[in-house]
A = this chain, B = another copy of it.
C-alpha cells in the first residue's frame, strides 16, 4: 500500500532527518519549506516501499552536495536537482520511475520530494546511508556494487555538468571539485539503479522512520512527556537500535571552517547533572564523527552522534550549534547492513583518519565507555 505524504509528514520528516543527519546533511528547514510549497501546489507525494518498485524500472536518486553552511545561504530556484535527473535520464535513455534519497539525514531527505512533486513520480522509502555522510562513495549503493555515474550536477546560475567516472571514489573526487567551483553547492542526480538493485543495496524504510521520529518528538512536547524516551522507543523498534544518552551539558566552544567543499571543526561541551566535571569533545566533517569524554571515545562513526536541545529534544545541526546552548548528546546504533567489514572500510573511523577500531556504541556504553 503506497503512503501519501502531506505537509504535516514533511514537518515531522524535517525533525527526524535532522536527528539522523548527525549534525550534517544540511539543515532540513529550507528543504521542508520547498517541499511544502510544492505539496500545496501539486498535492501529496507518493512514498513507495522498496518492495513496490517493479524490478526492471529505473530509480534515479537526487540530492544536494557541498558545505551545509553554504547550502543554507544559497537559496536554490527549486528545479536544479530535477534538471540533473533529466540529464541522467537522457544519458541512460531511460525514464525515472521514481526518485530516492541518497541519505536520509538532513536536507537531503527533503530534496528528492521536491523532485518527485515536480516530475510527478513517487519517492522510494529507502536511502544509501541510513544517516548523513560527507562523501558520495559512502553509500550502501557503492558498497554493494552500483555504479554512481552518469551523474548530473547543476548550480543555481544554470551551469551544469554531466560526469562519467570509472569508479565511485573518482566520482566523489571530481564532483567535489565541481561543486566547489560551482560556488560550494551542487544539485545532483547519480547512482541510477533498477528496482531489483534498490532492494539489494538500499537501507529500507528510513524516510518513514524519520517521519516517526519527528512525530514522536512533536507529540512528546505537546503532551509534556520526555522526548528522549520517545526517541528511544521509536529507535528500539527500528532496524537501528535504542538511542543512548552519551552526555548532557552546555556548549562552551564551536570551531567551524569551510574547506575543500566541507565544513570541518569541533564542539566542546561542559557537563552538568551526572556529567558535572566532565567535558565532551565532538569532531565533525559536515557530520559528527567521534564523541569523546575527556580522552575516551564514547561513540564513533558510523554510529550516529546527534546533539538535541536539552528542553525539547529537537535536533541541532553543526551549523546551528552556538556557545551557551544546553544540549543532550545521543548515540544511535547503525543498522547491521552498515557494519559489515566492507562498509566499515568505506566509512569507519580509520577512513576519517582516527586511529581507533570501530566498536559499536551500545557495546561501549555497556563497558562504561570507550576504546582505550
Q: Which residues of A contact B (CB under 8 A)?
A: 157-166, 170, 173-174, 176-178, 180-182
Nearest 7 A-B pairs (CB), nearest first?
A: A177-B181, A177-B177, A162-B162, A159-B165, A174-B181, A161-B163, A160-B164
Pick the residue among B158, B159, B173 that contacts A181 (CB under 8 A). B173
Alpha-carbon distance A160/B171, docked complex (angstroms): 10
10 A-B residue pairings within 8 Å (CB atoms): A158-B166, A159-B163, A159-B165, A159-B170, A161-B162, A161-B163, A161-B174, A162-B162, A177-B178, A178-B178
Query: Please, which residue of chain B has its CB at the minimum distance from the CB of A150?
Result: B162
Number of copies: 2
In contact, B170 and A176 (Cβ under 8 angstroms): no
Given contacts A174-B178, A177-B177, A177-B180, contact A166 B157 (CB under 8 A): yes
Complex interface: chain B residues within 8 A of A157 (CB): 166, 170
CA distance A176 to B161 in the complex (A): 13
Shortest Cβ gap from A288 to chain B (Å): 27
Nearest Cβ on chain B to A63's Cβ, whole angstroms = 19
Chain B's closest residue to A87 (CB) is: B162
B170 near A164 (CB under 8 angstroms)? no
Q: A159 to B178, Cβ gap below 8 A? A: no
Of the candidates A173, A174, A176, the one having the most CB atoms from chain B within 10 angstroms of its own CB is A174
The CA of A174 and the CA of B174, in the complex, are separated in Å by 11
Inside 8 A of A182's CB, which chain B residues have their CB?
174
Is the Cβ of B159 less than 8 Å from the Cβ of A166?
Answer: yes
Using Cβ atoms and an 8 Å threshold, which residues of chain B touch A180?
A: 177
Least CB distance from A273 to B in Å reads 48
* Nearest-CB residue, chain B, relative to A173: B181
CB distance from A151 to the nearest CB of B (A): 9
CA distance A176 to B178 in the complex (A): 9
Q: Which of B161, B166, B173 interacts with A161 by CB under 8 Å?
A: B161
Least CB separation from A261: chain B residue: B177
A178–B170 Cα distance when bound, in Å, is: 11
Closest B residue by C-beta to A162: B162
- CB proximity of A35 to chain B, nearest CB, Å: 27
